[in-house]
Chains A and B, each alone.
Chain A
Amino acid sequence: MTATVSDARPTQPHQDVRRRRSATRRSRDQRDAWLLVLPALVPVLVLSVFPLVRGIYLGFTDARAGLGITTHFTGLANYRELWHDSLFLDSFRIGLIWAVTVTVTQFALGLGLALLLNENLRLRWLARTLALVPWAMPPVIVAIMWRLLLSPTVGPVNQTLRSTHLSDTGINWLGDFNTALPAVIVIGVWVGMPQTTITLLAGMQNIAGDLYEAASVDGAGAFRRFWNVTLPQLRPVILAITSLDFIWNFNSFGLVYVLTAGGPGGKTMLPMLFSYNEAFRYGEFGYASAMGNVMVVLVLLLLGFYLRARLRSEP
């Protein structure tokens, strides 16, 4: 696969050679890239891309559950209905509050923990392992345990509140209109901390030692080293993990479903719960997929703003 170089131009041999070499390299790069990607390509196309395309397509149809029901293309009808669905818009608002709060808190706390786990503390292996407990517990037991911990009758949290007289009767954290969303947010942060912490920690491992050296030789204390070396070096990792965290948190479903099922009174009805109810409880696959499409577009827009703002401030 050599580039075609016209032999009728003997006057510029040097540029031709360079052009030829870079063209060869580019096409060889292309081929290498495809080969590197090949093992992933087939399973991904069959098991991921195809169902996704079908799922997205369903959002433009009236698909519903039922034996022998035919599906018709309905264009934008679902979206017109969604626009007027105040419950969906409410769930979207709750979802945003939830996702932003959980992501920001996860990041702040995770960064702090990663910094600590990067230090040369004693029993560091134990600390690193314990920090991953939320990851290690199966989701079904996570929700049950937190329900138990926060239980107004048999839970240790309320027991502590009662015995220290901070509260007389204890608080029904997951059942009270005012405390349900905050409680669920705290649990969401707990669940998501390991992946944020580990990702940031791994990123910190890659920061070159002599960058810190240079900074400390210049007289920078711990905080300035953190601000001027750690943070900028971590920037691509931070961008990656915060945007992924935001997406995952926004799409979170299983945890809140078991904790509150969207209650009380819809105070913790996240958009995914809503979409799940539409699809699995009422059988409205088309409408639920339309919700999914709307969520994808809106979150992409939000992420677009976030990433562009961050990337623009990069030197």
Chain B
Amino acid sequence: MKWRATFVAATAAILATGALAACSSSSGSSGSSGGKVTLTFQSLAFQKPTIAAVQKIVTDWNAAHPNIQVKYNQGSWDSVHDQLVTQFQGGTAPDIIHDEAADISGFAQQGYLADISKYLPADVRSSVPDGVWNTVSQGGKIYAVPTLLQSYVVMANTDLLKKDNIAVPQGTLSWDQLQAMAKQATTGGAYGLGWGLKSPTATVMSLSLNFGGKFFTGAGQDAKVQVGDAEKQVPERIHAMAYVDKSIDPATLTQSGTDVLPSFYAGKLAMVVEGNYAAQQITEEAPKTFNWTVLPPLTGTSSDQAADPQTLSVSQSSKHQKEAGEFLAYFMQANNLAAVGQGDWLIPTSKQARDAIQQQTGGKSGWTQTLAGADSQVAAPFQSAVNYPRWKDEIATPALQQYLQNKTSIDALATKLQSGWDNVNR
């Protein structure tokens, strides 16, 4: 009979483990005891100097506000989306959420983010251009503060350009200029341009604004995809450079942006198109003898690019939205934002913070050109189209990849994009 007792005991042991675990686990996200408020802040900062900058902001705030304590939690960019989906469903999201506009807009549409327009002081509102506020607003409500921007820039190997007698442009860089430079630089075993377009949609949608190519007309539920001449500019130019001029290394078209950099360092590519944050990587890993610069912003009929800022939001189910909003305003102070931006090599959204960085770095390592690109960041229609993520994954990305690998024509691409939108919105 002894073994039967053993099994009942085993069951009890397992249930006891569960009960013990339940008692010892912490419950609830924010608490308030006797007037003191605790906010959880999940930050995705990943570079060491950025983590240090953000933690300093938190420490300074906690020292100055004994009644509103912020608790710093480290998250990771890789997994934040899945985490938020689950936590929103279960009502356990952190009070202050760090994410980016493209990702957070879906959650805003689903109603999970608080409207913080009433908590933002006037100086924060005015320090950021309206075009950027539009990327974090829906229906007149603001659901995030935009903190840091990135832009696509052209970086060049100055030694190779000198060798090919190409002058480094000052002031502006037109697409035609880029094409000419790339063609001229394709000699001596090197390609003129490398472009990591493994994930082409974001780049194409953003840079098409250079030519006023909006892709989306109408708004909300009536949005439709229209691929006209303006929209065809960027894909056609890239295609021409790759397959007519043969100045883009076709291998790079299927690589990611970071994968392309080693060929850049090795002198196999005279220029590369990257997100401006690549400057940080180049500074860290390029050989000491490598000389490079950031070219002026790309310009078609304008230098507009789609703004996709990093964001800080407040969860709708947070019990202390006002206090969280105050912390956000503090985060946006010029010196705070400048410190975080420098750590991540990203462009602060507020002019004051940008000036602070210009001052602190003296414009070195391409900061001057990079910061200049901030003025032409605007909200694009595709960012507010419902069902855009699905269209991007299922239609746009495969179609663009096929076009860039020269497997379809530009008209077939246009048809796929347009009819694909209708399919997605059946």
Contact = CB atoms under 8 A, between A and B. Distances in A.
Q: Check whether chain A touches chain B (CB < 8 angstroms).
A: yes
A interface, size bucket: 20 to 34
Q: Is the interface of B mostly helix, strand, loop or mixed?
A: helix
Contacts of B15: 42
A41 B8 CA distance: 12
Contacts of A282: 387, 389-390
Q: Is the interface of A mostly helix, strand, loop or mixed?
A: loop
Given A39-B11, A42-B14, A282-B389, A66 B198 contact: no
Nearest to A266: B398
Nearest to A63: B89
Given A65-B89, A265-B402, A282-B389, 4 more contacts: A39-B13, A264-B254, A265-B398, A266-B394
A264 B198 contact: yes
A282 B392 CA distance: 11
B106 A175 contact: no
7 residue pairs, one from A and one from B, having the closest CB atoms: A175-B254, A67-B111, A265-B398, A66-B110, A39-B10, A153-B262, A39-B11
Given A42-B14, A263-B401, A277 B259 contact: no
A73 interface: no
A280 B262 CA distance: 34
B251 A169 contact: yes
Given A39-B14, A175-B198, A265-B398, A283 B7 contact: no
Contacts of A281: 81, 106, 389-390, 393
B255 interface: yes
A281 B10 CA distance: 42
Nearest to A273: B393
B14 A263 contact: no
B405 to A, nearest CB: 7
A289 interface: no
Interface in A128-151: 151
B18 A43 contact: yes
B418 interface: no
Contacts of A170: 251
Contacts of B4: 35
B397 interface: yes
Given A39-B10, A65-B88, A263 B110 contact: no
B402 A280 contact: no
A265 B112 CA distance: 32
A265 B255 contact: no
Interface string A217-241: 0000000000000000000000000
A139 to B, nearest CB: 12
A172 B198 CA distance: 11
Question: Which of B88, B387, B394: most chain A CB closer than 10 A?
Answer: B394
